[in-house]
Amino acid sequence: MGTSLGAMIAATRESAGYTITEEWMQGRTTYGGLSAALCLAGTLQAHADLQPLRSAQIAFIGPAGGDVTVQSRVLRQGRSMTYIEADLSQGDALATRCLFAFGSPRESVIRLDRFPMPVVPAPDACELLWRKRAPLNFLQQFDARMAYGGRSADGTGDGDIAYWFRLRDPSGIPPAVRLLALADTPPPAVMPMFTAFAPISTATWQIEVLDTQASGEGWHLIRSTAETGADGYTSQRMGMWDEGGRPVLAGRQMVALFG
């Protein structure tokens, strides 16, 4: 498995510098969930006493690997919400830019829960997502099971997938950082529609935290549903639930398809 995310955070250099090792790469760049997670880890390190994370907007601008740094700045700090911009760079090259919104709880008469988990078998009753070795380096950091939707490039999909994932080593990682590291693990929802592997690249990703008490440990179901696909891009909505069925994250992604 190599270097865990917790070990990477523990070895942080000055100025929120991290060393991304080969086992976290996704082709020629870092796994996007790790880039976002390191941006959040660096932000939490630099700014004390932040409110719970409520949402994040993430742009994957360029490739990165090896030694990277995270720089963050407060855009606005109000009585109940704080907005922080965080950049992950390799040398002078910007790789990932995040906008984080942190917010304190407040009293409200509104209580809604219209985000049910799909009815799927428990993780232990599902097939392994990859039958042999994980196809991409970073996936070796996770256990994965297929609830439904097919596997990448098997030609059986319809643009709707649901997979169980968990971090193999969640120790030493702040809970919100664990959630970001987990939430980007599935391939685009259209990948099982392909009959041969093709390169992909996530361009933008937006997430909303639905449970600020979630630990990010254990199995989580992640569902991705493609809503449009044209001109080499696909737009998908996403949801993540813990093993007890509690909603944890909601999100959207735009993904570039090179095939």
**pLDDT at residue 14 above 70?**
no
HEC letters along 16-67: CEEEECHHHEECCEECHHHHHHHHHHHHHHHCCCCCCEEEEEEEECCCCCEE
Average pLDDT score over the chain? 94
The whole-number pLDDT of residue 133 equals: 67
Q: 10 burial class (0-12, 13-18, 19+ CB within 10 angstroms)?
A: exposed
**pLDDT at residue 161 above 90?**
yes
Residue 82: which of 55, 111, 121, 109 has the closest Cα?
A: 55
The whole-number pLDDT of residue 198 equals: 86
Predicted TM-score (pTM) of this structure? 0.96
Residue 1's pLDDT band (cuts 50, 70, 90): low
Residue 32: which of 160, 134, 181, 244 has the closest Cα?
A: 181
Measured between alpha carbons, how far is 69 from 14 in angstroms, rounded to an integer? 9
Which token pair is 126?
A: 């599902």
Q: Compare 150 and 137 and report the one with higher pLDDT.
A: 150
**pLDDT at residue 208 above 90?**
yes
> What are 181-199's pLDDT values in tens digits?
999 999 999 999 999 988 8
Count the neighbouring beta carbons within 10 Å of the beta carbon of residue 255. 24
Total residues belonging to the chain:
259
Stretch 232-257: mean pLDDT: 97
**pLDDT at residue 73 above 80?**
yes
Measured between alpha carbons, how far is 148 from 163 in angstroms, rounded to an integer? 7
Measured between alpha carbons, how far is 256 from 87 in angstroms, rounded to an integer? 21
Domains of the chain: 5-104+127-257 (2.40.160.210)
> What are 114-149's pLDDT values in tens digits?
999 999 999 999 999 987 766 678 999 999 999 999
The whole-number pLDDT of residue 13 equals: 65
Q: Kindly give the pairing relationship between strand 247-257 and strand 200-209.
A: antiparallel
Q: Which amino acid is at 89?
A: S
